[in-house]
Amino acid sequence: MIDESLYKHRVQYYQQRLDTSIANGSDIDTQYWKRRIQELATGQDQQSTDPLKGQIGGSHYTEMGIQPLESVLLNFGYQGLRAAVYTKVMKYLARQKGDFTQHIEDLEKAKHVLDIQIKAAHEEQAKKPMFDSGGHIEKQTMEQSDDKSDQFS
């Protein structure tokens, strides 16, 4: 279970994001933040399958209440997350320090940040309508899917 101060921090952060979504008139984001608040209230927010709930090689990010990559996604959209994940994965793969134990930990860290991106990609895909107004299947590119980048400006 998450400690009390971390829980309060998340509740406050999620509520701020919900309020912003409502103020911006964003139904999709409003639904998302309502769901996150509900998950937090029912304890479902702590599922170990969520890569944002864990960390490889320490606990300094998980103790912050929000992981840096989650903040990147919320503030810069999916394309911003892609760029951040790319640089982190390259850093972990390029490191040549220590023994194989350190190397394996770096590989696990690279896998972890890719898991965060995979989760975000699934969530991004789920938010997008599959059909246009004429009932035809919409063909989307990743550029079209990144409509959150200016949302919090």
Q: Tell whether 145 and 82 lie within a shared domain.
A: yes
pLDDT of residue 18: 87
Q: Tell whether 124 and 152 lie within a shared domain.
A: yes
CA dist 100 and 68 (Å) reads: 27
What is the pTM for the complete model shown?
0.53
Residues spanned by the domain of 121: 67-153
Q: How many structural domains are present in the chain?
A: 2
Q: Is the pLDDT of residue 81 over 90?
A: yes
Assigned domain for 55 exists: no
Q: Is the pLDDT of residue 6 over 60?
A: yes
pLDDT of residue 65: 75
CA dist 35 and 83 (Å) reads: 27
Q: Tell whether 37 and 103 lie within a shared domain.
A: no
Lowest-pLDDT choice from 73-87, 88-102, 113-127, 135-149? 135-149
Contacts of 114 (CB under 8 A, 6+ apart): 85, 89
Assigned domain for 105 exists: yes
CA dist 38 and 57 (Å) reads: 30
Assigned domain for 58 exists: no
DSSP for residue 137: B
Q: With bands split at pLDDT 50, 70 and 90, how would you rate the model's confidence at 152?
A: very low
Q: Is the pLDDT of residue 94 over 90?
A: yes
Q: With bands split at pLDDT 50, 70 and 90, how would you rate the model's confidence at 21?
A: confident
What is the Cα gyration radius of the chain?
17
Q: Tell whether 40 and 93 lie within a shared domain.
A: no
Selected residue with higher pLDDT from 129 and 43 = 43
